[in-house]
Amino acid sequence: MPEHATITEAFIASQTQFTALVDFAAGDTAAAMDHADLEEQLSSRGRELLRQLYQDHLDLRARRERRLTALTDAAGVTHHRVEAGHQRTLATVFGEVTVDRLAYRAPGQGNLHPADAALNLPAEKHSHGLRRLAATEAARGAFDEACSALTRTTGVVTGKRQVEALTVRAATDFAAFYATHRQPAPAAQSELLVLQVDGKGIVMRSEGLRPATAKAAGQASPKLPGRLSKGEKRYRKRMAEVGAVHDAVPVVRTIVDILPATDAERAAAADGPRATGKWLTASVTQDAASVIAAVFDEATRRDPDKARTWVALVDGANHQIERIRAEAATRDVTVHVLIDIIHVMEYLWKAAWCFHTEGDPAAQVWVHAKARQILAGKARTVATTIRRTASTRKLSATARKAADNAARYLTNKTPYLDYPQALAAGWPIATGVIEGACRHLVADRLDITGARWGLAGAESVLQLRALRSNGDFEEYWKFHQRQEHQRVHANRYAQDAIPQAA
C-alpha cells in the first residue's frame, strides 16, 4: 500500500472529528450561541480533536515500529522475546491517549520499550507537558488552585497529591542544572560581586519540622487554649535559607547620600549601586552552610579567577558570618563582610525608646544622629554613649535592656560595620535584594494563609520560583527533559545505547 494511503487511513478518526467540528461551526446550533458559549464549545471540541490527532499519530508510530531480533539491558542481559500489543496510558495536555508498542522481554527482568525512549515518555502517567503546567501553576499559587487550572486548561482531572508529586518531579534537576549547565553572563572585573544570605520561616506539617523544633513543639504547653500568651511560640516553622548573588557597578557615596538631613540634601542624594544579573537560590531542606556554599559556587562561576571585589551583606547573624568566613577561607578568596545598615538602625530605634516616650519626634533625631556616627566609623563610640546615657538616667535593668542590646550589638559587630570603606569604595550597604527575595520566593507563596507544608513540596516550589526569578526556567526545562531521558530510558540499556524504534 502506498505510504500516503497508509497515512490517510491512520488519521481517519481525526479527519472525521475535524469535519464534525466544521459542521458544528457552520450549523444552526453554533449560530444561536453568543460568543462566550461558542468559545467554550470550540475549546472543548478543539481539545478533543487534538487529542484524537495525538492518538492517531501514536497509532501510526506503533504500526511503523521496527521489530528487532534482541536487545541488551544495562545489566548485560539479552532480551530475546519480543511481544506486540503492550500498552500504557499517557495523560497529555489534550487528554488521555494510549501508547501501543513492542516489549522486549527476558526472564526475571523488566521489559524494554525502545519506543518509549523515542517518545521520552515519563515514568508516571502524566506527560512532561502536564508536569510543566503543574510546575508553573503550583509555583504561582496553592496546589488546589493548580488542580483547577490544569483541569480548566487541559480537561484532565488531577488530584492535589498528583499535582504536588508532578511539581516535585519537575524540580528534580535544580541542583544539577546550576552546578553543571548554566553559565552566568560575563561582567567586567571592575564590577562588584555581591553575596547576600538570609532566612525566612515556613509553617510545616509536624513531620517536616527539624528535630529540635519538633521536640520543643511536643513539650510546649500553652497557658491558654487556642491562643498564645506573651513569650510563647507555636514551634511550627522551619527556616528556609535564601541566597542571592548579583553584580553591581560601584557608586561612591557619602553619609549625606545615605541619611540626608534637609530637602536639598535629599534631592541631591546619589542612588546606591544597582543590582544586575541577580541570581537567587533557596532551600528548606538544606541548612545555611549548604545554601551559602551554593552562593559561593555561583560567585565562583562568575569570577573564577577571583579578580573582582567580593562583598557579602548580612543581617548580623553569627552563623551566617562564620559560614561566609569559612567558605572564603576554603576557597582562598577575600570577601568583605558588611552588616546591613537597616538592621543596625533597627537596634538604634529600639534603644531610642529607652530614652524617649513613644511617638516623640526627638527619637527620630536621636536615631538619625547616632546612625550618622556609625556611618562615619564610630560604632564603638555610639555604643559607649548609649550605655553612659542609660547609666546617667539611672534606668532599671528592664528599662535599659534594649539600650544594652544595641550597645552590645554595635561593639560585637564593629569589624563588620566599616561603612567609611564601603561608601568610599562604592559598595552597597543594604540587603534589599535578599529581603526582596525572601518576600518573593518564600512569603508570597509559602506563607499564604492556612498553608502547612511537607518538605518535598516546599523545596520544589522554592526551587521553581527561583528558576523563574532567575529567568532560567526555559533553559532548565530543556535540561530537565534530557536528564529524564537519561534516567528513565538510556540508563536501562547497555552502554546507554537505545536502538531506533522506527
Question: Which residue's C-alpha cell is 562561576?
Answer: 301
Q: Are strands 310-314 and 192-203 parallel, antiparallel or unpaired?
A: parallel
Distance from C-alpha of 23 to C-alpha of 37, rounded to nearest angstrom: 17
Helix/strand/coil percent split, the chain, to 5: 55, 15, 30
Question: Are 170 and 287 spatial neighbours (Cβ–Cβ below 8 Å)?
Answer: no
> Mean pLDDT across the stretch 28-43?
95
Question: Which of 118, 108, 103 minimizes the C-alpha distance to 490?
Answer: 118
Cβ(187)–Cβ(434) under 8 Å? no
Give me the DSSP letters along 163-186. Answer: HHHHHHHHTTTHHHIIIII--PPP
Reply yes or no on whether the pLDDT at 183 is more than 90. Answer: no
Q: Are 233 and 334 in contact (CB under 8 A)?
A: no
Judged by average pLDDT, the poorest of 344-348, 460-464, 492-496 is 492-496
Average pLDDT over every residue of 441-455: 87
Worst-scoring range by mean pLDDT, 135-144, 200-209, 315-324, 424-433? Answer: 200-209
Query: What is the predicted pLDDT for the residue at 433?
Result: 92
- pLDDT number for residue 232: 41
Using an 8 Å Cβ cutoff, are 120 and 112 in contact? no
Residue-level pLDDT at 223? 54
Phi then psi dihedrals of residue 126, to 5 deg = -85, 135
Tally Cβ neighbours within 10 Å of residue 83.
10
Distance CA 440, CA 7 (A): 51
Instruction: Give the pLDDT confidence of 430-444 residue by residue, as tens digits.
Output: 999 999 999 989 988
CA atoms within 13 A on the CB side of 344: 32
Give 303-322 pLDDT, tens digit per residue.
999 999 999 999 989 999 99
CB 420 within 8 A of CB 247: no
Grid cell digits, residue 450: 492556612
Res. 235: pLDDT tops 60: no
Report CA 448 to chain centroid distance, whole Å.
16
pLDDT of amino acid 5: 55
Positive or negative torsion for Cα 145, 146, 147, 149: positive
Is pLDDT above 50 for 229? no
With 60 as the cut, is the pLDDT of residue 70 above it? Answer: yes
C-alpha cell at 427: 559598595
pLDDT given at position 228:
47
**The pLDDT of residue 313:** 96
Q: Which residues contact 236 (CB under 8 A, 6 or more apart)?
A: 203, 204, 209, 213, 217, 452
> What's the chain's average pLDDT?
91
pLDDT of residue 88: 97
pLDDT tens for each residue of 352-378: 999 999 889 999 999 999 999 999 999
Q: What are the domain boundaries of the chain? A: 186-440
Q: Is the pLDDT of residue 217 over 70?
A: no
Q: C-alpha distances in angstroms, 457 versus 139, 144, 214? A: 10, 13, 19
